[in-house]
A and B are shown apart, each in its own frame.
Chain A
Amino acid sequence: MSLFSLTTVGETLRIAAPYACAAVAGVWAERAGVVQIGLEAILLSSAFASVVGTLASGSAVVGVCAGIIMGVCLSAAHATLVHRTRIDAVVCGIAWNLLAYSGTRLGLRALYDSASNSPSIAAFRIGPTGNEGWQVLARVLCDPLSWLAFTAVVASPYVLNRTRLGLRIRAVGENPTAARAAGIDVGRTRLLALCISGAIGSLGGIHLAFDQHRFEAGMSAGRGFIALAAVVLSGWLPGRAALACVAFAFLEALQFVLQDIGQASKAITLAQMLPYAAVLVALGLGVGRRSAPGGLGRHAEN
């Protein structure tokens, strides 16, 4: 496996999908002014729900729907709690992450009597099998979830920038007090934005579970946090956030390549640090620092 091959491209796209979905979900939430560090929870809970749905019904489509419903519900609960009770959004997000982590483990024990993973699911098996470069790439390109994720990522900038809905969402995100004075219902707009955010984020979780053909405890493994970093680095722009995620995914795919080359040298494990260290360095150099939405974390004042 060489550095630049069809395999690397295929792997990069496969790895990028959950990151990109979570990052675009983060952009939707934060452009509406709601701090969302619970992306990890969305990924994990929707992955779990999609596997439970698939196993219960025997249909992958039902599983996808279950996952999306889960993501939307969690995200909507976040919006409602933050708006209605003025709970600190950061604390709330930490609670969601904890809830999803423990709750899915509890669910695994309750439903499948296992501490680590669910039974395997068929998911969508489309495209060629095998490990040749073009086969890996073709599998990724044939996966309906990849296309759902791609559509969501491509449609997001358009909806946010060019539609009436997007304008309202940006308005409540930039200045909730002014938006309310202009007759926009801040609470409902944010709720709607968070529902969209939850749906897009859940695609990432479903992709993760269907890619592994099962649910594993803690399988999101910090992807939600990387996505959060991508949001900040991108300057809260969905397209750039997705691109940043592809870059992370490339770094991650590179690890596999390096591990192949380096014959499992112990220093190679440090390569796992690359994406996180890259974020820190980029932020330190001043990438994407300026343009946080003005009303991020603010409420309409009475």
Chain B
Amino acid sequence: MRGLSSSQQRVVFALAGALLVLNLASFAFGEAPPQTLARVWAGTWGTPYGVGQVLFKATPLLFTGMAFSVALRAGLFNIGTEGQLAIASLAGAWVATKLGANVPWFLAVPVVLAVSAAVGAAYASIAGAMRAKAGVHEIITTIMLNRCADVVLPWILTVALSVDGVRTAAIAPGARTAGLDTWLPSFHGSAASLAFPFVVVLAFAVEAWLRRSRIGREFEWIAQSPSVCEAQGIDVAKRRMQAMLLSGALAGLTVMGTVLGYKGYFELGLGAGAGFSGIAVAMLGRGGAVQLVAASLLFGTLAQAGLAINARVPRDAMGVLEAVVILLMGATAFASARVEPAPSEPARDKGGAA
């Protein structure tokens, strides 16, 4: 382990733990562990179809992971991506059903994405405003907003928008995002769409923007010390609000992977769970866009692997596995940080020239 960096060690620990849980679960269900592993491999990275499915599963996770990590930059815990993406997906899908059949894609897709982003941001802004104006912690408000979305969505679907009580009408053909199998025929049958390359580019763009811009720097300062920022004349409340808006908008864009790129309509439960898994992706993918994309691919692989083994070992095993990965990654972060002193620590030149 000596030759590995701390973050590499964490990944090794997490993967080892994941493998152990998977073997135990398959053992418990009377399945030989090597066979389960073979099934996982064949269902994910072993075949072109599997790869496509992994990319498809990773797409919403990267959107929500990005959303969570943007808020975290400013020191905010946006647990509400789950509700934001659900409300925003419904709004986006509804707008997409209202577009004419001959609206070209270069108009339809941006319109739908803009609506979804706006609605996601608006829903997040409730929590943002309560934090900024009333000082209520966003963890509690976003959890409540998630529960509200859980109640409101079925109601809207049954009362207002529905075809049969659980889904909207089909969206306009122009708003559909093309599948990746248009260009890579071997992905045929998988649900991977252009949303994946889009979200990867977006992840790098957002990262680069936040690294270079004033707003991104101020986010990080606020996370470090809000009181110092206040004293420096930075409008902390405004920046926090902006972080929540940005986070909610990114969560709303998830609509591209689920509604536009896959189903072609919104139904209850579409994209559910992506919000919470996105938190795991963000925690695992700390430090940059590359890590974030890698983390989303890892969790996408787990999700797809769950489907691949579901016939023999219930896919709930993958939920357990995901939790174990989160715990192991989180638990080893501090241990490895203790071993390597932070390079910026000025503790040793106390009593120097300063």
CB within 8 Å of B: which residues of A? 37, 81, 85-88, 90-92, 94-96, 98-99, 101-103, 105-106, 109-110, 115, 222, 225-226, 228-229, 232, 266-267, 269-270, 272-273, 276-277, 279-280, 283-284, 286, 289, 292
Contacts and interface: CB of A to CB of B under 8 A. Distances in A.
Contacts of A110: 28-29
A273 B148 contact: yes
A289 to B, nearest CB: 6
A267 B141 CA distance: 24
B334 A87 contact: yes
18 contacts: A85-B332, A94-B280, A98-B323, A98-B326, A99-B319, A99-B323, A101-B319, A102-B322, A105-B319, A115-B314, A228-B140, A232-B137, A266-B155, A266-B158, A277-B148, A279-B140, A289-B135, A292-B137
Interface string B312-354: 0010111110111011001111110000000000000000000
Contact of B317 (A106, A272, A276): A106
B319 A289 contact: no
B145 interface: yes
Contacts of B154: 269
A277 B146 CA distance: 11
A298 to B, nearest CB: 14
A98 B319 contact: yes
Contacts of B145: 276, 280
A87 B319 contact: no
Interface in B259-303: 276, 279-280, 283
B101 interface: no
B134 interface: yes
A232 B130 CA distance: 14
Return the 8 tightest CB-CB contacts between A and B, nearest first.
A102-B319, A99-B323, A87-B330, A86-B334, A85-B331, A95-B326, A105-B316, A273-B151
Contacts of B148: 273, 276-277, 280
Question: Which of A98, A99, A266 is most buried by chain B, counting CB atoms within 10 A of its CB?
Answer: A98
Nearest to A224: B143
B327 A81 contact: yes
Interface residues of B, number: 47
Contacts of A88: 283, 330
Contacts of B201: none
A274 B154 CA distance: 15
B326 A91 contact: yes
Nearest to B323: A99
Nearest to B159: A266
A86 B320 CA distance: 21
Is chain A's interface secondary structure helix, strand, loop, or mixed overall? helix
B152 interface: yes
Contacts of B215: none
A106 B324 contact: no
A291 to B, nearest CB: 12
Contacts of B326: 91-92, 94-95, 98
B136 A289 contact: yes
B214 to A, nearest CB: 27
A174 B18 CA distance: 37
A279 B144 contact: yes
Contacts of A85: 330-335
Interface string B153-171: 0110011000000000000
B208 interface: no
A276 B140 CA distance: 10
Nearest to A231: B140
Given A266-B155, A276-B147, A289-B134, 19 more contacts: A88-B283, A88-B330, A90-B79, A90-B139, A92-B330, A94-B280, A102-B317, A103-B320, A106-B314, A109-B29, A225-B143, A232-B136, A270-B152, A270-B155, A276-B151, A277-B148, A280-B126, A283-B140, A284-B134
Contacts of B25: 106
B77 interface: yes
Nearest to B318: A102
Nearest to B319: A102
Contact of B151 (A91, A232, A272, A280): A272
B109 to A, nearest CB: 32
Nearest to B330: A87
A191 to B, nearest CB: 16
A215 to B, nearest CB: 14
Contacts of B320: 99, 102-103, 106
Contacts of A96: 323
Nearest to B338: A86
Nearest to B129: A284
